[in-house]
Amino acid sequence: MRTKKAKAAGTPRARISRDGSVSFELSVKREGLEPILGAAYLLTDRAYASLDGDRARLAVTLRPKSPSCDLKALSEVFLRELETQKLRWAIAKNNLPVHEFVAEQAVLLANGRIPPPSPPAPAADDLSEEQRREIERLIAEVEEEIKALNQKKLLSDPNKIRASWEERQEAALGEPSPTQEERPPARALGGP
Amino acid sequence: MSRLTSLPPGKPLRPGHLGAFNFRDMGGWHLLTNDWGRHLRLEAADFERFLSGGIKPEDPLWAALRQGGFLRDQMDFNDLASSYLRKNSFHWFAGPSLHMVVVTLRCNQKCLYCHSSVVDPSRTDTDMDLETAKRTVDFIFQTPNPTLCIEFQGGEPLLNWPVVKFITRYAQKKAEAARRRLIVALVSNFSLMSEERLDFLLDHHVSLCTSLDGPPELHDRNRPFLGGGEAQGKVVAWLERIQRRCQADSSRRAYLPGALMTTTRFSFPFAREIVDLYAGLGLEQIFIRPLSPIGYAKRVWSEIGYGPEEFVAFYERTLDTILELNRTGRSSLMERTALILLTKILKGEDPGFMDLRSPAGAVLGCLAYNYNGEIFVSDEGRMVDHEGDPIFRVGHVAENDWASVLDHPTTRACVTASVLENQPMCSQCAYKPYCGVEPVFHYETQRSVFGQTPSSPWCVSHMGLFDAIFRRLRDPGASAVFEEWLARDQCRWQENDPEPAGEPQGGGRAYAP
Amino acid sequence: MRLEIDPQEPSVSFSAPKSVYSQDGLRIAAHVFATRAEVLVAKYRDSYAVTLKSKRRSASQADLEALAGEFLNELLNQEYRFLVGRFNHKISGLIVTQVLLAARGGEQAVKPPSEERSAEFQAAVAVLMKEAEEEALRTMPKRIAPQGRPLPPAPEGG
C-alpha cells in the first residue's frame, strides 16, 4: 500500500513563476501523451500553452490571457483536466474497436448485407400458456449453452471487441505498443 | 473546469470496464451520451458508482444503462448500428437536396447585417439572366438526390421576377419528365409582392418565407428601406394576407407562410415582444438564430454583434417565454432551434439542418448558385466570395458537372474538416452525437476550416443551446411541451406533400407581372 | 519558453522543440496566421527557431507576447488535431468515403430523361424562355452593363 507521501509524489506539481505563468513537469509514461496534450489544449481558451521536453518528460507552461486570472486556480483546473483526460482517453482507446465495428455494421445494414434488428418480442401479458412454456424451455436451453460456452471461453466476439485495450495488448504477446516514433506521417489537407 | 467539464477530484475509477460514452457535468447531475445517439441523465452519486463499476444487474439503473448501450459487455451491436444509421441517415443521401439560387444581388432594403452583400436596385448587371438560369436548373438536375428543393434568395428575388417565374416553371417541367420530387421556396421581404405574383406562387406550390425581426421599432432599425419608410408593416400585412388566402383554400393550408428572425444586439431587450408578435400572428414557428460574423456582417460586428454567451442568454429568455405561453395554453408557437435539437436527441433522427451534421451539409446537403452561375459550398461561402475571397467557390454551372464539384479540393476540405471525429474537443464532447461544425464560420472567425474549438464562438453558442435544452428536459412541464412539439413538427411536411411536381393547379392562367 | 521581442521590427521569436511540434503543424499554423504575421522558420537539429513579424506597423510588448501565445496555441491545435485524426482515422475515413460515394449517386452521371430531347419538350421550354424574355423587356429596368463573359454552348442533350 502506498503511503500518502508516495502517492503525493506521483501527483504532478505546479510551479508558479514570477513572470505570470504556471508550469508542470509531467511524465509521459505516467500521464500519457494524449491526456497531457488534451488538458493543455482545452485551456487554450483562457491561457497560452507552450510545451517543451522529450518523449519521456513534457513541460507544459500556461500563461493566462487575462492578467486577473488566478494562477493557483488555473493550475488546479489543469490538473483536474489532466485526470479527466486520462479517463476520456482510456475510454476512447478501450472502445475504439467498438466504434469502428458498429460503424462498419451500419454500412452493412444500409447496404442490406445484414438483416435489421428484430422487432421487440410481444409483452408477457400477450402470450398464451403454451408460448410461455416454450419460451421458458428456450431460455433454459440458452442458459445451458452459455454456461458451456463460458467454460470454453468462447464468446461471440471474434474480433475481441469486448476485450479491453489492456487485455488485447497483453494478448498480443510481446508486440510493442505503438510509440510516438511509429506514428504515420500527418496527412496534408486538400486546398485550392 | 474546461468547457468540456471535468471529473470530481479523487473518485475511484475502473476505466477498463467502461463502455463507450462521453459525459458532461451539468451541476448536480451528469449527462451520458454515446456516438449512437443514446443519452442518460445520472445523479452525481449514481455517476460515481457507474464510473467505479458499482452498478450491478440488480440495480434499478442497470436496465437503463444496458438499453442505452453504456454497459460494455451488454452491447447489442445490431441495435446500436441501427441507431447510428437512423441518426446519420444523410450519410447515405445521394447528393444535395437544397439548392439556393441567388437570382439577383439587388435589394430595396439595406439590412444592417446583410450577409448577402446586396447592391443598389439599379445594378441590373447583378441579375441572373435567362441563359444562366436555365444552366443553373440543368446543373441542379444533374445532382442525384431524388428530392430537390430550389430556394430563391437574393438580394430581393422579386426584383428579378421573370427569372423567378422561369426557373419555377422550367424546373417543374424537368421534374415531371424525370419523375423527381421538386420543392420550390421563396425567401423575400414581401415589399414587392402583388396579388398576381401571389397567384402564381400559390398556384405553383411555392413555399413562402420572409424575415420578421420583431416589433416595428426593432425590425425597421435592423432592416431599413433604401430611401426610408416602414418595412415591418408591409411584412406583417402580406403575411396576414397570405395566411388568409392559404386558410381559405384547404389545398393550400400546407403552404402557410413562415418567418425568420435574425438576432442583432438590438434584439436583446425585445424577447417578449418578438414572441408576442409571432404568437399574435398565428405563426407556427419562430426560429431564434444567432447572427454569424460572415461577409458583410463581419465588418459591422462591433455595432450589431455580440458574444456567444450573450446570444445563449437571449435564447434561454426567449425560449422560456415561449414555453410559458405553451404551458398556459395561450399559444402553441414552437421554437425551431429546439425542434432541431430535440429531433436529434429524442427521436434519434436527422432533422435536415445542414449546420449540425457531421460532416456538414456544405456541398453534400446544399449548394448555392450566384447570379452569374458560380457555385459555392453554401450561401455563407458565397458571402465570403463577395468580400473578395473565392476560396469556397467550387464550380460554374456552364463549365462544371456534378462530379467535378464533388471532387473539388475545397469540397474535400470542408467534408474532412467537419467530421467530428477529426475535431479534438468535439470528439470528446457529450453533445457530439447531436452537433456539427461549420467550416465557413471557422474560416471567417478563426482563419481555418478546422477552427480551434476551445475558443470557437460556434462551440460556445452551440454548447449553450444544448445545455439549455437538456436542462429543460429535466423539467416535466417543459418536457411535455417539447414532446407535443415533436408530435406536431411540420419540418418535413413538404416531403410528405402528395402534390406531384410539375404543372400547377388549374394550369393555363395568365399571370400579370 | 523564452520569447525574444523586437518592438522596432516588430517581431517576436522563440524556439519550438521538434520533440513536440512538427513541420506540418508549423506550416499550417503559418497559413492560419498569414493575415497577422509573416512567419519565418529556421531548422535546427532539435528545434525550430520561429520568428513572427507582426503585420501591424507598431506593436507593444504585450501585443507581441499575445501574438506568440496565440501562435503557440495554434501549433498545439494542429499537433493535437493530428494525434486525434490519426487515432480516429479508420472511422473518419469510413464516414468520408461513405458520404462522398453516396453523394456521387452512382457510377454514371445523371442524364436528362429521353423525354427532354423530344421536340415537344424543347418547344415548351422555348416558349417559357420567350415569355420570360418578353416579360423582362417589358417590365425590368434596362441593364446598365452587360453581365460578364458570354457562356460556352450548352452540352448535347440539355
Domain coordinates of chain A in residue numbers? 11-94, 126-176
CA distance, residue A142 to nearest chain C CA (Å):
34
**What's the pLDDT score for residue A139?**
64
What strands, in cross-sheet order, belong to the sheet with B374-376? B288-289, B258-262, B206-211, B181-187, B147-153, B98-102, B366-369, B374-376, B393-396
The answer to which of A110-124, B320-334, C54-68 has the lowest mean pLDDT is A110-124
The whole-number average pLDDT for the span B36-63 is: 92
Q: Mutate which of B401, B421, B449 to test chain C, going by most C C-beta atoms within 10 A?
A: B421
Instruction: Judge whether residue B213 has pLDDT over 90.
Output: yes
Flag whether residue A190 sits within 8 Å of chain B, measured between CB atoms: yes
The whole-number average pLDDT for the span C84-96 is: 95
Flag whether residue A110 sits within 8 Å of chain B, measured between CB atoms: yes
Q: What share of chain C in percent tops pLDDT 70?
A: 89
Phi and psi angles of residue B209, each rounded to the nearest 5 degrees, phi first: -140, 145
Q: What share of chain B in percent tops pLDDT 70?
A: 95
pLDDT band at B112 (very low <50, low <70, confident <90, very high): confident
| Chain A environment of B91 (Cβ under 8 Å) | 110
* Burial classification of residue C86, based on how many CB atoms lie within 10 Å of its CB (0-12 exposed, 13-18 middle, 19 or more buried): middle
What is the pTM (predicted TM-score) of this model? 0.87
**What's the pLDDT score for residue A185?**
31
Long-range contacts, stretch A116-123, CB < 8 angstroms, 24+ apart: A116/B78, A116/B82, A117/B76, A117/B78, A117/B79, A117/B82
**What's the pLDDT score for residue B228?**
77
Residue B266 and residue B232: Cα distance in Å, rounded? 15
**What's the pLDDT score for residue A168?**
57
Cβ distance C69 to A48 less than 8 Å, yes or no, reads yes
The whole-number average pLDDT for the span B229-253 is: 89
The whole-number average pLDDT for the span B369-397 is: 96
What strands, in cross-sheet order, belong to the sheet with B22-25? B22-25, B29-33, B39-43
Per-residue pLDDT of B454-509, as tens digits, reads 999 999 999 999 999 999 999 999 999 999 999 988 554 444 444 433 333 333 34
Instruction: Judge whether residue B299 has pLDDT over 90.
Output: no
For chain C, which chains pass the contact test of at least 3 CB pairs under 8 Å?
A, B
For chain B, the structural domain boundaries read 15-87, 95-396
Residue B262 and residue B194: Cα distance in Å, rounded? 25
CA distance, residue B164 to nearest chain C CA (Å):
9
**What's the pLDDT score for residue A189?**
25
**Residue C139 cell numbers, joined:** 417590365
Local structure of A175: helix, strand or coil: coil
CA torsion sign for B111, B112, B114, B120 is positive
Minimum-distance CB partner of C77 among A41, A50, A103: A41
**Residue B46 cell numbers, joined:** 449514481
Flag whether residue A45 sits within 8 Å of chain B, measured between CB atoms: yes
DSSP string, B297-344: HHHTHHHH---HHHHHHHHHHHHHHHHHHHHTTS---EEHHHHHHHHH
- According to CATH, the topology of domain A11-94 is Gyrase A; domain 2 (3.30.1360)
Flag whether residue C142 sits within 8 Å of chain A, measured between CB atoms: no
Instruction: Judge whether residue B14 has pLDDT over 80.
Output: no
Q: Please report, for residues A18, C12, C41, C62, C65, the alpha-carbon distance to residue C68 in angstroms, rounded to integers and kept in the order given.
A: 19, 7, 13, 10, 5
Per-residue pLDDT of B20-37, as tens digits, reads 999 999 999 999 999 999
Residue B412 and residue B417: Cα distance in Å, rounded? 8
Per-residue pLDDT of A40-69, as tens digits, reads 999 999 999 999 998 899 999 999 999 899
Q: Please report, for residues A83, B30, C58, the alpha-carbon distance to residue B151 in angstroms, rounded to integers and kept in the order given.
A: 49, 41, 47
Residue B125 and residue C145: Cα distance in Å, rounded? 6
**What's the pLDDT score for residue B118?**
73
Residue A192 and residue B444: Cα distance in Å, rounded? 17
Cβ distance C91 to A100 less than 8 Å, yes or no, reads yes
Of residues A16, A99, A95, A91, the one with CA closest to residue A61: A16
Minimum-distance CB partner of A110 among B2, B73, B85: B85
What residue ranges of chain A have pLDDT lower than 50?
A: 1-3, 5-6, 153-155, 173-192
Vertex A87: Cα angle to A83 and A90 (nearest 5): 135
Vertex B362: Cα angle to B386 and B125 (nearest 5): 30
pLDDT band at B325 (very low <50, low <70, confident <90, very high): very high
**What's the pLDDT score for residue A182?**
35
Spell out where chain A has E strands.
14-16, 22-27, 47-53, 57-64
Residues 6+ apart with CB under 8 A from B428: A38, A88, A92, B4, B22
Of residues B372, B356, B334, B279, the one with CA closest to residue B491: B334
| Chain A environment of B73 (Cβ under 8 Å) | 162
**What's the pLDDT score for residue B119?**
81
Instruction: Judge whether residue C8 has pLDDT over 50.
Output: yes
Name the CATH superfamily, with its identifier, for domain C4-88.
Ribosomal protein S6/Translation elongation factor EF1B (3.30.70.60)
CA distance, residue C124 to nearest chain A CA (Å):
40
* Burial classification of residue A177, based on how many CB atoms lie within 10 Å of its CB (0-12 exposed, 13-18 middle, 19 or more buried): exposed
Burial B289-321 (b: 16+ CB within 10 A, else e): ebbbbbbbbbeebeebbbebeebbbbbbebbeb
Cβ distance B142 to C91 less than 8 Å, yes or no, reads no
Vertex C87: Cα angle to C82 and C88 (nearest 5): 100
**Residue C3 cell numbers, joined:** 520569447
Q: What amino acid is encoded at C6 in this protein?
A: D
Vertex A128: Cα angle to A122 and A133 (nearest 5): 95
Q: Mutate which of B6, B385, B429 to test chain A, going by most A C-beta atoms within 10 A?
A: B6
| Chain C environment of A51 (Cβ under 8 Å) | 17, 20-21, 76
For chain C, the structural domain boundaries read 4-88
The whole-number average pLDDT for the span B93-107 is: 93
| Chain C environment of A96 (Cβ under 8 Å) | 87-88
Residue C21 and residue C15: Cα distance in Å, rounded? 10
**What's the pLDDT score for residue B174?**
96
CATH number of this structure's domain B95-396, picked from the four choices 3.20.20.70, 3.90.180.10, 3.30.465.10, 3.40.720.10: 3.20.20.70
Please identify which residue in the block is written with the cell numbers 504575421: C37
**What's the pLDDT score for residue C109?**
83
**What's the pLDDT score for residue B456?**
97
pLDDT averaged over every residue in chain C: 90
Cβ distance C132 to B163 less than 8 Å, yes or no, reads yes
The whole-number average pLDDT for the span C47-64 is: 94
pLDDT averaged over every residue in chain B: 91
**Residue A120 cell numbers, joined:** 421487440
